[in-house]
Structure 1
């Protein structure tokens, strides 16, 4: 069968339902967020080098095997994270297929959908490099930050599924400030992690700066981010049909994330709270991106002209 014939057959397939497309897009968001959390579990359990090579777990074996230097539990935690990456890739690929089958094709929707499987491949490569470099803190940071980008794009994908209505306009410039501050929160968070006790392996060198100082810088970025959201709230009062629910969810998630961070700092960075903090960061990204998409369709209030007599 020629390529042209195959393409013609694909083009004759019916457009997937809106519900199916949105459902798969939401699954992409969920799996992208969860893979970041499972990565955190790998780190806090010291399982980052449970499989010391990549793409194999050990030289000559794709799966965990009895080894005098690597505990079986640590091997399966790391290997399980790699297996979950496969599920993330399958769902990301499904999202692209559905976007390709949508008629008429929407270029923005298709580009975001294509970014999902491509991003999974890039993330897998970054993960392999991280293992090959023995979990150097900055490689782990890049690995996590790549996940944050994927979660943001996946959230945009959910809102990009065509609904048969007027395309949304551009987001207001005011949202650029909290978005940039969120990037600062995430970057400083990875620096705190790099200097903290959970490096993925007991022998991994840590970022050589005081973790307390980095934690205070990270907290200051979070407070500034929260302050910028208060200003956004005042701006929303001057728009038609403001997305108040999305705004309120974002505020609630940010406050909850800050509370987890404080408890985590006061209690000596316990493993469970570290994993929850990473998941909370993904929730903050989803909520911020959702608000971004919500205000794209908001319009400034315009005073009605008084009719003349």
Structure 2
């Protein structure tokens, strides 16, 4: 009760502030995955040999005969960025809590709490990854754990901008079912992508174990699942055409096509060129954009009404006197 009273005293966030916080949550959750890929492709994954310390007995990089200073600082800088993600997560909770103080928004508050909860989860998984010496499957889990957080961040943004009415579908039941299939297919593509990475040349450290499987086969499975994702997306579009979907939904649909096709082309070029480091990080960014656009399409396929206006409170006595 004391915390609720304290939060209620904070300035009420405007619609612009709420939207900005939601966008910041998306950027933070997606961005930390991209910076993590930079750590991996530069071979800096074990620049900090332990966790939560960087080196035994030190929280920060120290002079080391076997580790280059740049390698240590790349990994350490990525850990520092986690602090920024924590700050954004805390702001998201406070913003949602302040809105909730005026009108009960339990769903919005729950979505906001997934942000700091996800940071804690990722910190634990990241620590396990370091302690396991970057075994490929721990790196895969570390990446995959970030994907639902990106999805939840998109839902959080929409939560700030919409109401809490029961969702009213804007597409036929069959199309809604197909949208679920599309989402499952998206995660199947992401999981398959981690196996390609696990067998690829960028393990985060020269001595880390790699997945002992033919990368050509893994890449074919990955690309085949992407084709399946696009086929489901195409059928979903035909259903939208038949149902006469609203313009906003068509815009989200077009964005998914644009990002997914670009990601497929990038993956092909990346494979053909021998997986250059820069393209790996771009591909990770593309994965995040696929999640973001698919989640946005999901949100656009239903309507929860407009957000409730801020409750009216009595004006301060000074303002009443001035107005009189």
- Fold-level match, TM-score > 0.5? yes
Show the 5 A alignment for 1:140-159: 140-159=139-158
Q: What does residue 229 of structure 2 align with?
A: 225
- Structure 1 unaligned spans of 5+: 299-309
1:232 positional shift: 0.9
Q: Secondary structure at the match of 1:233?
A: helix
Does the aligned pair in 2 maintain the 1:51–1:57 contact within 8 Å? yes
For residue 162 of structure 1, report the CA deviation from its aligned partner.
4.6
Q: Is the 8 A contact 1:18 1:163 kept in 2?
A: no
1:10 maps to 7
Once residues 63 and 6 of structure 2 are traced to their aligned partners in structure 1, the CA distance between those partners, rounded to angstroms, is: 49
Q: Which runs of 5+ in 2 are unaligned?
A: 305-324
> Is the contact made by 2:44 and 2:205 (CA closer than 8 Å) also made in structure 1?
yes
**SS of equivalent residue, structure 2 residue 303:** coil
Q: What is the TM-score with the length of structure 1 in the denominator?
A: 0.92
Match of 1:112 in 2: 111
**Correspondence 1:99 to 2:96:** yes
* 289-298 or 41-50: bigger deviation: 289-298
Corresponding position: 1:74 with 2:75:
no
TM-score, scaled to structure 2: 0.88
Q: Within 5 Å, which residues of 2 pair with 1:204-223?
A: 204-223=208-227
2:62 matched residue in structure 1: 65
The alpha carbon displacement at 1:164 in A equals 5.0
Q: Indicate the larger mover: 285-294 or 101-110.
A: 101-110
User: Within 5 A, what are the aligned runs for 1:275-290?
Assistant: 275-290=281-296
Report matched runs for 1:145-294 at 5 Å: 145-163=144-162, 166=165, 168-169=167-168, 172-237=176-241, 238-242=243-247, 243-294=249-300
Counterpart for residue 86 of structure 2: 89
Quote the Cα distance in structure 2 between the aligned partners of 1:177 and 1:165.
25
What are the superposed Cα offsets for residues 108-156 of structure 1, whole Å, 9 maximum, x if unpaired? 1111100001101110111011000100100000000011111111111
Cα 1:279–1:101 shift into 2, 3 Å? same
Greater mean deviation of Cα atoms: 14-23 or 168-177:
168-177
Q: How many residues are paired up?
A: 295
* Deviations 1:187-245, CA, capped at 9 Å, x for gaps: 00000000111000000010111011000000000011011100111111114415111
